[in-house]
Amino acid sequence: MAFRPQGLTLRLADIVATKQMTANIRTSPKYKQIAASVAEVGIIEPLMVYPLSGQTGKYVLLGMVTSG
């Protein structure tokens, strides 16, 4: 099965990012806009993760790649 039919609740510490954020990303207008939105309304859509190979209980956060 490609996807679990039900959601999965994870601790934040068990989610691994696909790459590290640089200071440039954290100070960008787009990042600040997203951070402000999450602070104001929370995360509306469920995050997508997959199990980290070789590490029980750890998951990799899937990200969207957009142009522009």
pLDDT band at 2 (very low <50, low <70, confident <90, very high): low
HEC profile of 19-67: CCCCHHHHCCHHHHHHHHHHHHHCCCCCCCEEECCCCCCCEEECCCCCC
Q: Hey, which residues does 2 pair with through a beta bridge? A: none
pTM, rounded to two decimals: 0.62
Per-residue model confidence as pLDDT tens digits over 20-61: 888 898 899 999 999 999 999 998 888 888 899 888 899 998
